[in-house]
Structure 1
């Protein structure tokens, strides 16, 4: 059996605190507000931010099996663990057209050094994806996390600064 791909990326925010960033991530049904290339995201089952809550996401961030660059990539993702005290959440992909199988992702948010800012960590485990290189997938995660957290921080800073 092929080994799973495991990856972890992180980014450090200097202006926004963990307490400010966590609510934006746990707003599971509205991730399209923050993540680049996800144009649609909404709840299809359960309660937003609660274990069992399932969202539908669509966009153009990954190639899909349905044919072509102009075809929308989509996934259904279910929250499987939430630890509000530790600001950690895990979700699995239950269906998609991007070739991800046996996918589990975890997002953790920690206070930055000296209580300033925060660190956001995004890890994943997935079966190797046909047509994708591991290094390219990790880079997509890093770019996505950097763009997402910058947008979150900028929004918080401009709206509350």
Structure 2
């Protein structure tokens, strides 16, 4: 019998083929506008409305940002995440990229770990689709 971990940790990623790392970074780095890309699902509309986030770091060279949830009435006690845009296949990022999203948090009241992982994974996939659509529209 294993003792459960006191923290949840995980990582998900999404490929954005045809979107350059620079294009996607410009969208992601606009932290105050992430709501444009983050899918709002009916189940989580109330959840999203009750969150307050704080940007911890923004590194344009590494195309990386970190943030924390500082206020929530929906079970978040401690949540810190890192999002990074990296080139696909180690290239220069001009033919495609991926967003990597990692997190460390206390267990979230009302969520199971697998449900939370699934939610983040599907959210990032939808976010990547929206960003890809946007970058393709802006380059045609």
TM-score w.r.t. the length of structure 1 is 0.76
Tell me, yes or no, if the aligned pair for 1:63 and 1:98 is still in contact at 8 Å: no
Counting only pairs closer than 5 Å after superposition, residues 25-64 of structure 1 correspond to structure 2 as: 25-37=28-40, 60-61=43-44, 64=47
Alignment equivalent of 1:134, drawn from 92, 102, 113: 113
Unmatched tracts of structure 1, length 5 or more: 39-58, 65-71
Aligned to 2:102: 123
Note if 1:6 corresponds to 2:9. Answer: yes
The total of aligned residue pairs comes to 134
TM-score w.r.t. the length of structure 2 is 0.87
Tell me, yes or no, if the aligned pair for 2:9 and 2:103 is still in contact at 8 Å: yes
Aligned with 1:142: secondary structure? Answer: helix
Alpha-carbon separation, structure 2, partners of 1:76 and 1:157: 31
CA-atom RMSD in angstroms? 2.0
**Deviation for aligned residue 1:33:** 1.0
Alpha-carbon separation, structure 2, partners of 1:2 and 1:145: 25
Question: Higher strand proportion, which one?
Answer: 1
Deviates more, 1:134-143 or 1:109-118: 109-118
Question: Higher helix proportion, which one?
Answer: 2
Q: Per-residue displacement from partner, 1:94-150 (whole Å, max 9, x unpaired)? A: 101221111101001111124420011001111001221101101111111000011
Alpha-carbon separation, structure 1, partners of 2:111 and 2:49: 15
Aligned to 1:80: 56
